[in-house]
Chains A and B, each alone.
Chain A
């Protein structure tokens, strides 16, 4: 069974960074893309970007190019997303998902507050 386990909720101050993790079990992430998606409170889904863990190649949505950095560690079968220069507008639930969006993590709440 494929499972994506995300790290716990984060509380970050404006201007700081947070790094989220997404550990995959039951599937080798070398064989898929890993996507990240956010959902602001009461809003819809927004694609942030994806990484090909086999070679580290990344693609970002334009608005997240300077906000998010995607990495992956194939030895631990884990994908990561770092969010930098946090602002209140970054407060959201962040999901990871496999290449065809067929498996999703449970989501992690990131709250930006001073």
Chain B
């Protein structure tokens, strides 16, 4: 099975900061990587699919990049409503979530 290592586990940043979250796959996942945002008490929400495609309705400050085994979610200018936990998901071979990154405001 493909393992996904997500970093950091916790992140504290200020409004307006550029934030990056990383996921590393145990093998090449050919850009089959999605990003999700989960706010407290809610179901996850799809932000980006297949590495760099923004889901409809998601603000353009969210972007994704990567290839091979290494992928990144970037928030270009952090907003208060972005406080949440973020997960990556590989779907190259079955499905595996990363461990999550809890993003808080400094």
Separation of A47 and B55 alpha carbons in the complex (Å): 21
Whether B64 sits at the interface, judged by CB under 8 Å, is no
Whether A1 sits at the interface, judged by CB under 8 Å, is no
Separation of A94 and B1 alpha carbons in the complex (Å): 22
A59 neighbours in B (Cβ, 8 Å) = 94
Residue-wise interface mask of A (80-95) relative to B, using a CB-CB cutoff of 8 A (1 in contact, 0 not): 0000000000000001
Verify B94–A45 contact, CB threshold 8 A: no
Q: What are some 15 contacts across the A-B interface (CB < 8 A)?
A: A44-B99, A44-B100, A45-B44, A45-B89, A46-B97, A47-B89, A47-B95, A47-B96, A47-B97, A101-B36, A101-B46, A104-B43, A104-B44, A104-B45, A105-B43
Which B residues form the contact surface with A (CB < 8 A)? 1, 34, 36, 38, 43-46, 49, 55, 87, 89, 94-100
